[in-house]
């Protein structure tokens, strides 16, 4: 709280779309590292990616006061400059929503596709990873261009 003005001065060059993209990228790296830590043999590499990504994501979430009703908390702390913090929060939340959509879709594919079906290729790990990134990219595009950032106070196109 004591260095809020310093933070505002140094981050004022960013635009909300950039803040949302940075937060989305850092969170996606952490989640991808966790997923690959579970399925890949190179556990040390993916463990390091996960830990570094998680630390960076927690730093961003802490600076942006991420919680369920972050709109008012960020406005109280950052005032008219709360657009960056709100956009970063939306970037982090979009990854979480993307992970949830992917999990439901992937389990649905596992349940509905028969083992003998030619569509069984969709349940392979590489196809699942591609599907994960497609869903996450759609989540980012919805945040950046779907009108959510225009709800952020102080953001003008």
> What does the domain layout of the chain look like in residue ranges?
15-151
66 backbone φψ class: left, alpha, beta (φ>0; ψ -120 to 50): beta
Q: What is the DSSP letter of 65?
A: T
Q: What is the pLDDT of residue 157?
A: 46
Query: Is the pLDDT higher at 148 or at 35?
Result: 35
pTM for this structure? 0.85
Lowest-pLDDT choice from 3-7, 55-59, 81-85, 88-92: 3-7
Q: How confident is the model at residue 152 (pLDDT cuts 50, 70, 90)?
A: low
- Is the pLDDT reported for residue 24 higher than 70? yes
Q: What is the pLDDT of residue 70?
A: 77
Percent of the chain with pLDDT over 70: 94
- Is the pLDDT reported for residue 29 higher than 80? yes
User: Tens of pLDDT along 100-118?
Assistant: 999 999 999 989 988 888 8
- Is the pLDDT reported for residue 155 higher than 60? no
Residue 59 CB neighbour total at 10 angstroms: 11
Long-range contacts (CB closer than 8 Å, 24 or more residues apart) made by 58-62: 60/22, 60/23, 60/26, 60/27, 60/88, 60/92, 61/89, 61/92
CA angle 43, 45, 51 (to 5 degrees): 95
| pLDDT, the chain, mean | 86
CB 17 within 8 A of CB 144: yes
- Is the pLDDT reported for residue 129 higher than 70? yes
CB 51 within 8 A of CB 38: no
HSE value, Cβ hemisphere, 13 Å, CA-based, for 31: 21
**How far, in Å, CA of 24 to CA of 56, rounded?**
11
Residue 27 CB neighbour total at 10 angstroms: 27
User: Tens of pLDDT along 67-97?
Assistant: 777 777 777 777 777 888 888 899 999 999 9
């Amino acid at each position: 709280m004591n260095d809020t003005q310093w933070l505002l001065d140094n981050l004022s060059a960013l635009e909300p779309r950039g803040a949302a993209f940075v937060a989305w990228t850092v969170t996606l790296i952490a989640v991808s590292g966790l997923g690959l830590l579970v399925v890949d043999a190179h556990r040390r590499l993916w463990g390091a990616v996960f830990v570094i990504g998680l630390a960076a994501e927690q730093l961003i979430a802490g600076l942006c006061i991420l919680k369920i009703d972050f709109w008012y908390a960020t406005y109280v702390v950052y005032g008219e400059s709360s657009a960056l913090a709100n956009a970063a929060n939306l970037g982090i939340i979009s990854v979480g929503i993307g992970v949830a959509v992917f999990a439901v879709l992937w389990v649905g594919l596992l349940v509905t596709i028969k083992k003998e079906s030619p569509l069984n290729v969709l349940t392979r790990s590489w196809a699942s990873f591609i599907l994960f990134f497609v869903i996450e990219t759609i989540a980012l595009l919805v945040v950046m261009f779907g009108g959510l950032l225009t709800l952020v106070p102080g953001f003008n196109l």
